[in-house]
């Protein structure tokens, strides 16, 4: 997940407010194997996951791999 979250954090973290940092931290607290499956759209995340924030991460990742 370092290859997904690392570039995302590098590009965005300085502009995040406290609430966004909390959302990122909550996502980073998830285990890597299921998180990768959610990013790769192989599985739906459980209800407790902030899907809106996950979608931001996924969109950022997709934009990077399409370059």
pLDDT (tens digit per residue) in 2-12: 889 999 999 99
Q: What is the pLDDT of residue 23?
A: 98
Per-residue pLDDT tens digits for 37-63:
999 999 999 999 999 999 999 999 999
Q: Work out the mean pLDDT of the chain and round it to a whole number.
A: 95
Prediction pTM value: 0.91
Question: What are residue 50's phi and psi, to 5 degrees?
Answer: -75, 90
Q: CA-to-CA distance for 49 and 35, rounded, in angstroms?
A: 10
Predicted local confidence at residue 38, as pLDDT: 95
CB 62 within 8 A of CB 35: no
Mean pLDDT of all residues in 11-33: 97
């Amino acid at each position: 997940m370092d290859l997904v979250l690392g570039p995302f954090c590098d590009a965005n973290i300085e502009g995040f407010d406290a609430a966004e940092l909390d959302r990122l931290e909550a996502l980073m607290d998830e285990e890597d194997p299921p998180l990768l499956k959610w990013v790769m759209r192989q599985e739906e995340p459980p209800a407790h996951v902030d899907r809106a924030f996950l979608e931001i991460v996924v969109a950022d990742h997709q934009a990077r791999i399409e370059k």
